[in-house]
Amino acid sequence: MPIAMMSRSAPRIVVFIVLLIYLTGTWGSNPGVGEPKVKCREAERQGLLKIKEDDYEDDEYGLLSSWGNEEEKETAVNGLEFGATTNPYLRYLDLSGINFYEQYSIPSFIGKLSKLRYLNLSYTSLNGEIPSQLGNLSSLQFLDLSGYSELYIRNPEWVSHLSSLRVLDLSSNNMSLAHDWVQVVNNLPSLIDLKLRDCNLPDIVHSHLSLVNASKFLAVLDLSENNFSSNSLFQWLFNYSRSLVHLELTGCLYNTSIPQAFGNMASLKFLVLIRNFLKGSIPNSFGNMTSLTYLDLVACELVGPIPQSFGNMIALTFLDLGFNHLEGSIPESFGNLIALTYLDLGFNQLEGSIPRGFGNMASLEYLDLKHNMLEGEIPKSIWKLCALQQFYAYNNSLSGQLRFAESSSICSHFPLEFLNLEYNRNVGSLPDFTLGTILDKQRSKEDSSYLYEIDLSSNQLEGSMPLFLLKVEFLNLFKNKFSDLNLL
C-alpha cells in the first residue's frame, strides 16, 4: 500500500513510518545494508545511528529486519507504535524539515516516549494544537517545535513540567492566548536557550510571579517579532541579567524606553534591538556592558546623543546605530574601540568632526557615516587604516583635502575597495600617487581586493585628475572642478 493511501486511513502512523526509515535506513532496500533514503545531516545521522545501536540492539520487536512485503511493513509500523507506547527506549528523535503527505498534527502518543531527551519537529508540515501530553517527557533536554508550521499553544502549562529542558524553541507558534508564558519559563530550572520568535506573545502581566524554580543559566533569549508595549518585559528579563549572554529583541518593542538597568548586564556579549519603536535616548549605563562584542540598534527611533560611555565597551567588534535620530557629536571616546571591524552611524543627525581617534581602529573594515551633518577634515589617520575596505561618508559637510593615498606607503596593500564621499565639501587636488602600480601588483597576485568604486562627485575638488583613478572599476567625479576632466 502506498504511503499516501495508508496515511489517509491512519494519519498518526506516517510520523512513525518516517521515524522508522530514519532508524533503520532500510526503506525500499535490503535490510541492514541500505543508506537512509531520507536525507539527514551527518551529525543527525550519527545521533540516529546511536539510537539504533544503543536502544534497538536486541531488536525486540523485529522492527529492523522485518521489511518485506507490504503487509509486513504495516505490521512493523504498528509494531513501532506499540513499541513506543509500551517500551519507550527512544532518546533522540529528529524529524525536522519533513513534509508529511497531508495535514497532520503532532500525535499525542509521542508523550509516551518517556526516555526522550531530544525532540526536533522544526520546519515540518505539522499543524494544530501541540498536545499537552508532551509535558510527560520529563527527560527532555532539547525541544524544537519552531518553523513555518501552523502549530499553536493555547495553554503552555505542560511545558513547565519539562524540568530537564535546556533548549526550548517554540518560534512561529501562535501563543497569543498563552498569558502565563512567563510563569512557565520561570519554572524551567535548567533552561539555557529560549527562542520564542514570532509567537504573538501577549504582554507580560506581573502577578504573583516567582523565581524560586527559575534557571540561573539562561544565556540565550530571543523574543523577536512579538509586540511588547510595556516595560514589564524588561523588568522580567533583568532577573536573568547575570546569566544572559545573547539577547535578541528585533521588531518587538513598541513605545518603550531603554531602561538604565542594561548597565547590569555584565555578561551580555550579543545585543540586537533592530527595528523597534523606542522612546527617548540611549542610557549612559550602556557603557557598563563591557563584555559586549556585538551591538545592533538600527532603526529604533532613538534620539539624543551617543553617550560618552560607549568608549568603555572596548570588546565591541560590531556597532550599528544607523537609521535613528541621534544628534550631537561622535564621542572622542570612540577612539578606544580598537576591536571594531564594523561601524555604522549612518542616517542620523550627528554633527561636529570625525574624531581623530578613529585612526586607532586598526581592525576596522567597514565605516559608514553617511547622511549626517559631519564637518571638518577627514582625519588623516583614517587613510592609514590598513584594514578599511569600505568607507561611506556621503551627504555630510566634510571639507578639506583628501589624503587617501596615505595608506599606500604604510600598508602591505591598498585596502580601500569602496569609497563614497559624494555630496561633501572636499577641496583641493587629489594627491598623485602610485596606486596604479599597487593595483597592478595586487591583481597579478590575484588578491581578491582591488579598487572597485570611488564616488567623489559633488565636491569641490580641483587640479588635474590623477591617472590612477583610471584603474577604478566604477568612478564618479561628476560636479567637481577638475581642470582636465575632458581627458576622460
Ligand X SMILES: *[C@@H]1O[C@H](CO)[C@@H](O)[C@H](O)[C@H]1NC(C)=O
| By the rule CB under 6 A, 122 interacts with ligand X | yes
For residues 2 to 41, the per-residue mask of contacts with ligand X, x marking binding by CB under 6 A and - elsewhere, is ----------------------------------------
Q: Which residues of 89-113 are buried (b: 16+ CB within 10 A; e: fewer)?
A: bbbbbbbbbbebbeebbbbebbbbb
Q: Which stretch binds ligand X (CB under 6 A): 61-69, 242-250, 256-264, 479-487?
A: 256-264
- C-alpha to C-alpha distances, 168 to 119, 200, 241, nearest whole angstrom: 10, 17, 19
| Closest CB to ligand X among residues 10, 209 | 209
For residues 331 to 360, the per-residue mask of contacts with ligand X, x marking binding by CB under 6 A and - elsewhere, is ------------------------------
For residues 176 to 195, the per-residue mask of contacts with ligand X, x marking binding by CB under 6 A and - elsewhere, is xx--------xx--------
| Closest CB to ligand X among residues 158, 383 | 158
Distance CA(128)–CA(479), nearest Å, equals 62
The residue within the footprint of ligand X, chosen from 144, 180, 248, 296 (CB under 6 A), is 144
For residues 415 to 454, the per-residue mask of contacts with ligand X, x marking binding by CB under 6 A and - elsewhere, is --------x-------------------------------
| By the rule CB under 6 A, 87 interacts with ligand X | no
Least distance (Å) from ligand X to the CB of residue 31?
27
| By the rule CB under 6 A, 133 interacts with ligand X | yes
Question: Strand locations in 337-468, DSSP E?
Answer: 342-344, 349-352, 366-368, 373-377, 390-392, 397-400, 418-420, 425-429, 453-455, 460-463
| Closest CB to ligand X among residues 367, 385 | 367
* Count of CA atoms in the C-beta half-sphere (13 A) of 266: 2
| By the rule CB under 6 A, 209 interacts with ligand X | yes
| By the rule CB under 6 A, 132 interacts with ligand X | yes
| Closest CB to ligand X among residues 149, 407 | 149
Say if residues 246 and 217 touch (Cβ distance below 8 Å): no
The residue within the footprint of ligand X, chosen from 97, 335, 400, 428 (CB under 6 A), is 97
| Closest CB to ligand X among residues 398, 438 | 398
Q: Which stretch binds ligand X (CB under 6 A): 7-15, 26-34, 204-212, 471-479?
A: 204-212
Cβ within 8 Å of residue 128, ≥6 positions away: 104, 105, 106, 150, 151, 152
Least distance (Å) from ligand X to the CB of residue 377?
20
| Closest CB to ligand X among residues 239, 363 | 239
Q: Which stretch binds ligand X (CB under 6 A): 31-39, 228-236, 311-319, 334-342?
A: 228-236
The crossing angle, in degrees rounded to 10, of helices 42-55 and 11-24 is 90
| By the rule CB under 6 A, 142 interacts with ligand X | yes
* Count of CA atoms in the C-beta half-sphere (13 A) of 425: 10
Angle, vertex CA 88, rays to CA 84 and CA 92, nearest 5: 95
Long-range contacts of 3-9 (CB under 8 A, 24+ apart): 3/101, 4/101, 4/102, 6/74, 7/100, 7/101, 7/102, 7/104, 8/102
Least distance (Å) from ligand X to the CB of residue 444?
38
The residue within the footprint of ligand X, chosen from 38, 61, 117, 135 (CB under 6 A), is 135
Distance CA(166)–CA(195), nearest Å, equals 11
Least distance (Å) from ligand X to the CB of residue 203?
8
Beta-strand relationship, 246-248 and 270-272: parallel
Distance CA(232)–CA(366), nearest Å, equals 36
Burial of 76 (0-12, 13-18, 19+ CB in 10 A): buried
Select from 113, 97, 110 the least CA-distant residue to 44: 97
Distance CA(120)–CA(357), nearest Å, equals 49
| By the rule CB under 6 A, 213 interacts with ligand X | yes
| By the rule CB under 6 A, 305 interacts with ligand X | no
| By the rule CB under 6 A, 227 interacts with ligand X | yes
Say if residues 73 and 97 touch (Cβ distance below 8 Å): no
| By the rule CB under 6 A, 285 interacts with ligand X | yes
Closest residue to ligand X in the complex (CB): 263
Q: All 3 cell numbers of residue 72?
A: 509486513
| Closest CB to ligand X among residues 378, 405 | 378
Which residues would be at the binding site for ligand X (CB under 6 A)?
A: 96-97, 111, 120, 122, 132-133, 135-136, 142, 144, 158, 167, 169, 174, 176-177, 186-187, 200, 209-213, 227, 229, 235-236, 238-239, 254-255, 260, 263-264, 285, 288, 371, 395, 423
